[in-house]
């Protein structure tokens, strides 16, 4: 309890320190306000966006997209990962794509996603779920393919048939890796969300960043960037919290 409190205190101190330095640099006036806004200007921009209902609206839209993409991508990632790790056929059929697909960045998929799914929500879900899928697939595959041999030997000599071996040994043994994949996937969901929203969107954090550029509203851009930072950090903490309870036998 007290260590957690200490940790929070450290974070608060660090953030305050950065804001003070930022504010001090801005106050000297050596940097053009339009180029690099002061903390106060960013705060005012945030308040303005909030009063117009844009801030909350963007958050809702973006979180909704990221969540749907995450659910689709992670479900498929876990299923395919278990299959490629434990069945010869899927390992043969899809194995090479584990390495071939990895270098393709999410943003490179936006044009084809728009052709396939239009500029509506479909293309966003596709880009996000694809990115999440890849991260979760990779980690699930790794975890399920490298289950300690003694676990499998013990399970079989204790009379477990294939189904029980799969659900009571393989899946829990791979669970720590799956959780790592989900955590990574959640971070990547926001990364690809912005990529997807930069073109063909009319709301959302990514759109707002692009929109702010048109009017050189750097203060609004900073609001968007800070939103992404806070959202990502909170989500990561959430996954660590849930993950440590879900796979309590392994410290994440």
Residues that bind other proteins (CB under 8 A): 150-151, 153-160, 164, 168-169, 172-173, 175, 247-250
Report how far residue 244's alpha carbon sits from residue 176's, in angstroms, rounded to the nearest whole number. Answer: 9
| Of residues 52 and 250, the one with the C-beta less far from other proteins | 250
Q: How far is the CB of 169 from other proteins (least distance, A)?
A: 7
We find the least distance from the C-beta atom of residue 172 to other proteins, in angstroms, to be 4
- What are the E-state strand segments in 125-238? none
- The C-alpha atoms of residue 24 and residue 116 are separated, in whole angstroms, by 49
Closest contact distance (angstroms) between CB of 37 and other proteins is 50
What is the C-alpha to C-alpha distance for residues 193 and 10, in angstroms, rounded to an integer? 30
DSSP label at 131?
A: H
C-alpha closest to that of 58 among 197, 214, 192? 197
Nearest distance in Å: CB 155, other proteins: 8
Cα gap 230→234, rounded to integer Å: 6
């Amino acid at each position: 309890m007290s260590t957690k409190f200490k940790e929070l205190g450290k974070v608060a101190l660090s953030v305050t320190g950065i804001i003070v330095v930022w504010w001090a640099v801005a106050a000297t006036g050596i940097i053009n306000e339009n180029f690099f806004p002061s903390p106060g200007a960013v705060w005012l921009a945030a308040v303005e966006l909030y009063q117009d209902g844009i801030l909350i609206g963007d958050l809702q839209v973006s979180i909704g997209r990221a969540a749907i993409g995450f659910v689709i991508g992670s479900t498929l990632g876990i299923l395919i990962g278990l299959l490629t790790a434990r069945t010869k056929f899927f390992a043969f059929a899809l194995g090479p794509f584990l390495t071939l697909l990895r270098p393709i960045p999410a943003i490179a998929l936006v044009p084809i996603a728009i052709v396939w799914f239009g500029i509506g929500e479909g293309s966003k879900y596709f880009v996000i779920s694809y990115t999440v899928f890849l991260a979760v697939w990779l980690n699930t595959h790794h975890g399920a393919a490298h289950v300690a041999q003694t676990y499998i030997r013990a399970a079989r000599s204790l009379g477990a048939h294939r189904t029980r071996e799969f659900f009571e040994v393989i899946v829990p043994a791979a669970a720590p890796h799956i959780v790592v994949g989900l955590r990574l996937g959640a971070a990547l969901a926001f990364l690809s969300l912005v990529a997807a929203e930069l073109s063909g969107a009319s709301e959302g954090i990514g759109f707002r960043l692009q929109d702010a550029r048109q009017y050189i509203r750097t203060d609004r851009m900073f609001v968007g960037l800070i939103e992404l930072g806070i959202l990502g950090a909170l989500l990561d903490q959430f996954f660590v919290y849930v993950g440590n309870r879900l796979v309590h036998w392994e410290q994440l």
